[in-house]
Structure 1
Amino acid sequence: MEPPSIAVQAFRSWGAQVEPLPTSTKEECDWLVSLEECRLIAEEKTKFEDALSIEHRLKTLRGGGVHGQTLPLRSNNRLSGIVRKAVGQLSSTSADVQHDLRVLWFTGTGFDGEAKHYQLMSTLYGSTRVFELNGDGHHRTCYFFRNSDFYRFRNVLDGAYVTYLNGNTLTVKLCLNPYSSKWKSLRDSPFAARLKNGLIDPFGEEGEGAAYVIDGEVDRSNPGAVIRYLEEKYGLKQAMNIDMGMTSASILVPRE
């Protein structure tokens, strides 16, 4: 028996109607979701923790040791593969099912679920953190610093729900793809209205002075060129980028 869909439970909690899409000889996406006359098709993906990672952690803990790990919160090739697969399914379904918007739903689960959540956002946006070397030390997110899946799949992917599960608590971000021709429709949709505190809008953040956006013709494979573009666009001095990481440590505590 398959576990219940996290996406379906969330959509229905927001008042949406969810219909499973029929399977066929083609690779189709999972759901047709309707909310206040707005319809989106969604492909749901769940990333479970790697079995070898679980085995290694349990072996360390059962041996009385401290298990520690650091995961880089930057673009990830395996997650990009998940996005590519979902895009193919959305593209196939969109030819046959009437809809307004197309999204990926991703859930990170397990010990590293939160890290996968941030890694996927970095993969979609090609993002990093940028600060001025002699500035106030404040780091801002820089969107599209690197090559990104949102740009690569701009003709198919209007946005993505990027979530992670911690116990019974689901954290949800709705990431807008500003390179999609329909990104404003998603931003102004009833789906986005249900997530006012969980909406990722790069241009909105840029307008508030909270983020940088690389939106010009620059070689993303050349970090020096991207930095120079940032300095010229925003009047920065000695700008630098840094990728963040998520570090954790755990031990077994005996029951009393």
Structure 2
Amino acid sequence: MESLGYQVEVIPTSDNDRKKEADFIASYDGHIAIVEAKLKEDDQKIAEEKERTLASGEVSLVEGKLGRNETISGVIRTAAKQLLSSSDKKHDFKIISFVAVGSNERTKADQFKDTIYGSTAIINGSIYKPCYFYRNSDFFRRRIIDGAIVGYVFNGKTHLELCLNPYSSNYEKLKNSSFIKPFKTAIIDPIELEKQGLAYIPDEGTERKLNSIHLLSPMCNPILAHLREKYKTGFLIAADFDSPEFSVRYEG
């Protein structure tokens, strides 16, 4: 955030062990946010297995899959509590930061976005678009989170996006503030993307829970039926794509 131009201060650790504070206070152009930062690293077993495979001169495969991730949801739940704990600090916004490193880092970041937005890919013929709030969304559950800085580190470079929470009471305030200007075009706003025809969003009140019958076929899926009617499309398919990482080590 400092590299983007924000002024960042560390929130001192509380003497009260029961009070888990957020990590930082970030300021820009008169606006202040409290930020809880999470770093997603590789599981030790996965890292060790990858190193053994690469050291033997073979191709390493690290599995990955897009879509909602319940472990990440637990991280978001904890972050929301820490942001609430630091609400006594002067601030305009509450932000969670999630940065992935290690193997398949971009997939980890995309999983986080799929979890906060409850998103999936919707395929319409040869075209696919994201569908936000297709399923349970942590932004919907944790409305005190105004936005999330989501990114990954690849080849030493950090790639960041700012994700706005349309269910936050501060959505319009954050969206229209100069606080988000350092992110330039790297901002995800589902409402604007839908207006531009670049995304789907089911209407409020649409039942997201699918039973075993609904899962038999896309034709049985009431959410897809709703989207077909709302957007006047043809046959739709929802898909959480597999996203494996292949890597090899070479000399020279």
What is the CA deviation profile of residues 82-132 of structure 1, one whole-angstrom value per residue up to 9, with x for unaligned ones? 1111000001111x1121100001110112221110000000001001122
Change (3 A) 1:241 1:175: same
Structure 2 regions of 5+ residues with no counterpart?
A: 215-220
- Partner of 1:58, secondary structure, is helix
Letter in 2 for 1:13: S
Letter in 2 for 1:147: N
Distance 2:149 2:133 in 1: 18
Matches within 5 A, 1:1-256: 11-24=1-14, 25=16, 26-94=19-87, 96-132=88-124, 135=125, 137-154=126-143, 156-222=144-210, 224-253=221-250, 255-256=251-252
- Count, aligned residues: 240
Letter in 2 for 1:123: T
Deviation at residue 60 of structure 1 after TM alignment: 1.8
- Partner of 1:90, secondary structure, is helix
Deviation at residue 188 of structure 1 after TM alignment: 1.6
Distance 1:187 1:55 in 2: 42
Answer yes or no: is the 8 Å Cα contact 1:144–1:215 preserved in 2: no
Deviation at residue 243 of structure 1 after TM alignment: 1.1
Distance 1:15 1:169 in 2: 17
Answer yes or no: is the 8 Å Cα contact 2:29–2:179 preserved in 1: no
- What TM-score do you get using the length of structure 2 for normalisation? 0.91
Deviation at residue 179 of structure 1 after TM alignment: 0.7
Letter in 2 for 1:106: F
Answer yes or no: is the 8 Å Cα contact 2:164–2:171 preserved in 1: yes
Distance 1:63 1:32 in 2: 45
Change (3 A) 1:62 1:17: closer
Letter in 1 for 2:116: L
Deviation at residue 40 of structure 1 after TM alignment: 0.7
Answer yes or no: is the 8 Å Cα contact 2:206–2:223 preserved in 1: yes
Letter in 2 for 1:221: K
Letter in 1 for 2:224: I
Q: Over aligned residues, Cα RMSD in angstroms? A: 1.4
Answer yes or no: is the 8 Å Cα contact 2:62–2:103 preserved in 1: no
Answer yes or no: is the 8 Å Cα contact 2:103–2:245 preserved in 1: no
Q: Spell out structure 1 runs of 4+ moving beyond 6 A.
A: none
- Partner of 2:168, secondary structure, is coil
Distance 2:114 2:164 in 1: 13
Distance 2:207 2:141 in 1: 14
